[in-house]
Structure 1
């Protein structure tokens, strides 16, 4: 049916998204963190123990500076240009995602403002600070992020409406002669 007369244009999809976002497109519970990370992999994805130890010393220095009261961003600047500082959100509704990510697991266990220990994941060392907990339903997934799902939901909604209309329009005719001969 999506290939025929029910193919919506973008304005129709946006109207559908707006009308259904409270029930279908609320963002799940998530935790927002600030993180410092430093890679110990070379460009050819080769990790040697010397480089790994050097990266670990740098992240340990940042952790020590932060525990002594230094601001997160300043501690990152102090350890050099090869460090990354970013804010990241991790969904708390996806056990599979979090089970595979030590950083996401640590983020879910921290309290607001609390700072993690050093975490190793995918060739990087991380230090994270939990900023806030985003409650389920307190915000919406963006239209662009869920556009494909909105399309599918639109088609499903149109089809359900079509079936309801066909049932409402149906004329039920009972064949009295056959009905009387039917036995249970």
Structure 2
């Protein structure tokens, strides 16, 4: 009986040891962390970074696996984990994130998903996903916390920026990288629709021939307004400006793509877009970087950029001055396989 009792105690001890250890693995690109549950991967000013948080950064950097060595991948994950924890610390100091421990976050995530589920059952409006993933909700909370911190920074900076001199100095320092003109083209254009009163394509060939006549006359030096009156009921020449950095518009607009390629005073080919034929003449053109967007036109954007710059500067300073301690045993236990 004593031998059985001793064996029972030994088995209990084995179960305890196995229970106290966490094994995290991936079949491909193996991440292997053997971790006692009471341990953390690192500490920033004595505030822990859990293995779960470290693993989160590893997952986000998976795209780099194969491009860099396993040690570089681990180092990037550790650096990202430290940066995230410092962002949380700054948020906590500003009163926008009270408890930055990961267990507390998990409780908030669970409560939020329960709230959303209950709202759906009650047929109430739910904005965003019906259920957040763990990583998705963490990104949501961190983003909102950073926005709130920057808003507080802006309120604190408001008095010092009231005369605008601080912003002007920032504008001058950053104008080459942030406020240089992306380039633009201003065109005169005539537009002939080939849709009839019922919005049916019944006039396409006729209007195409008319537009070719318009181009021939304009290329011969005819006055744009006179030509417009002859071919367009409203008799007006419109002016349109296309910016080189308006990527969304430029990708889907044949007219924008053609306009940006025009030389000064050059007339385009006939362009088809949205049920119409378009002909353009370049009347103004600025090359990328040839000018700067005026300060007064983008003052609000400059303020946002100024606060963003101040936040990044504070974050980097705080990280460089932080007391960072790494659990070498767990860090070295991370194995990245093929």
Distance 2:191 2:274 in 1: 11
Distance 2:239 2:214 in 1: 17
Contact 1:40-1:51 at 8 Å conserved across structures: yes
2:268 alignment partner, SS class: coil
Q: Alpha carbons of 1:165 and 1:92: their partners in 2 closer, same or farther (altered >3 Å)?
A: closer
2:187 is the counterpart of 1:47: no
Q: Which moved more, 1:95-104 or 1:19-28?
A: 95-104
Match of 1:129 in 2: 281
2:191 alignment partner, SS class: strand
Match of 1:30 in 2: 184
Match of 2:151 in 1: 3
- Offset from partner CA, 1:86-108 (integer Å, 9 cap, x none): 33332345665433221122223
State the 1:24 CA deviation: 1.0
Q: Structure 1: which 5+ runs fail to align?
A: 173-183
Distance 1:158 1:75 in 2: 55
State the 1:63 CA deviation: 1.7
Q: Alpha carbons of 1:171 and 1:104: their partners in 2 closer, same or farther (altered >3 Å)?
A: closer
RMSD across aligned positions (CA):
3.7
**Which is helix-richer, 1 or 2?**
2
Match of 1:82 in 2: 234
Distance 1:142 1:52 in 2: 43
Match of 1:20 in 2: 174
Q: Structure 2: which 5+ runs fail to align?
A: 1-148, 324-331, 333-338
Pick aligned residue for 1:70 from 212, 219, 222: 222
The size of the alignment, in residue pairs, is 172
Distance 2:217 2:313 in 1: 61
Q: Which has the bigger relative contact order, CA under 8 A and spacing at least 6?
A: 1
Q: Which runs of 4+ in 1 moved over 6 A?
A: none
Q: Alpha carbons of 1:79 and 1:134: their partners in 2 closer, same or farther (altered >3 Å)?
A: same
Contact 2:267-2:280 at 8 Å conserved across structures: yes
Distance 1:62 1:89 in 2: 21
- Give 1 or 2 for the bigger CA radius of gyration: 2
Normalising to structure 1: TM-score of the pair?
0.68
Match of 1:179 in 2: none
Q: Which moved more, 1:151-160 or 1:14-23?
A: 14-23
Pick aligned residue for 2:252 from 95, 100, 104: 100
2:292 is the counterpart of 1:140: yes
